Amino acid sequence: MLVFASSDKGGTGRSVTSCNIAFHLAQRDDVAYLDFDFGSPTAGAIFDIPRAERGIERDGLHTYFTDGITDPRHLDVWHATDRADLRGANVRAGRLSFYPGEMGGAEFAISDTATTRCAELLTRLDQEYSVCVVDLSAGRSTALEMVLAATAQPMMRAITTRWLVFHRWTRQHIVAAHGLVYGERGIVEIGASAGHDPEALRDAIRFVRIAVPNLKEHNPGQTAAQATWLFTYDEELRKLAVDKRLGKSRVLGMTPVEPVLQYREQLISDSDVSTKIANHATVEAFRELAARLSDDAVWEGM
């Protein structure tokens, strides 16, 4: 299965959330994580891999697409991570392979050659891994256009493909996520012009709400007027989301505001929770997203 992680805005939590989803999926299955954020390939920092925190020096995904090497380099997260509590986790887990971009790499022009190479790589990795998570550059990027063109090619039609669109729980992010999916030159429109059936493509897209505040929690620093305003505005956002076709039936899940992630982009492990540094609810949210993502019944029944 291929999972495309997209968002209209940068800084939505797309990479941190998809790395954590990949981490949970890899407890059971072989998972590949591909950093297709070509302009800013920093997912290595989230996996805590020092030598790849801004991408690797050479032979990564950029060179694969632009210079024609046959096999982009990948790193085994369980061995390469600096996190002592995660290192060696492969004894009990599936593989978690990270395909980084490159330090000096930048967005490149889309071409038929790059699209074909993309189709070849994704088809091959789909056979090798149970799930491939592809972290796409924000907005209407080369990466987005390239994977839409690649997945429309006959060689890829039979592969199960799911799309996640990440957004924060704010007015601007809801409007932006709507535009990325349904708007002019959005995923559905670009996909249709690349040869996808627009309805099938729309059905393969779910939204993920990131860092949603928990209004039920007592917040001693809050005035009564603030609490009332937040409740009222939260309701407004819900209506806006329904209006913009991002309502409940199209939402895969959400994540709560996590203090650790406000300071540091990382995998949240069980040991972060048992030491009471991270919230249990955050790990549960990632675990549930991973479970729902790979559950066909959930996916089709939505």
Ligand X SMILES: Nc1ncnc2c1ncn2[C@@H]1O[C@H](COP(=O)(O)OP(=O)(O)O)[C@@H](O)[C@H]1O
CA angle, corner 13, sides to 185 and 141, nearest 5? 25
12 binds ligand X (CB under 6 A): yes
Residue 244 neighbours by CB distance under 10 Å: 18
CB of 55 to ligand X, least distance (A): 14
The distance between the two most distant Cα atoms of the chain, rounded to a whole number of Å, is 61
Query: Segment near ligand X (CB under 6 A), from 13-21, 76-84, 94-102, 223-231?
Result: 13-21
Chosen from ligand X, Mg ion, none, partner binding at 94 (C-beta under 5 to 8 Å by type): none
CB distance 146 to 115 below 8 Å: yes
Residue 85 neighbours by CB distance under 10 Å: 14
Chosen from Mg ion, ligand X, none, partner binding at 223 (C-beta under 5 to 8 Å by type): none
Residues numbered 50-109 forming contacts with ligand X, rule: CB under 6 A: none
Number of residues that bind Mg ion (CB under 5 A): 1
265 binds ligand X (CB under 6 A): yes
Binding string to ligand X for residues 150 to 169, with x set by CB under 6 A, is what? ----------------x---
15 binds Mg ion (CB under 5 A): yes
Could you list the beta-strand ranges (E) of the chain. 2-6, 31-36, 75-76, 96-99, 131-136, 161-168, 205-212, 251-256
Binding string to ligand X for residues 183 to 222, with x set by CB under 6 A, is what? ---------------------------xx-----------
* Residue whose tokens read 């390469």: 80
CB distance 194 to 152 below 8 Å: yes
Q: Which two tokens stand for residue 247?
A: 């309502």
Q: Which residues bind ligand X (CB under 6 A)?
A: 7, 10-17, 166, 210-211, 255, 257-258, 261-262, 265
Q: Which residues bind Mg ion (CB under 5 A)?
A: 15
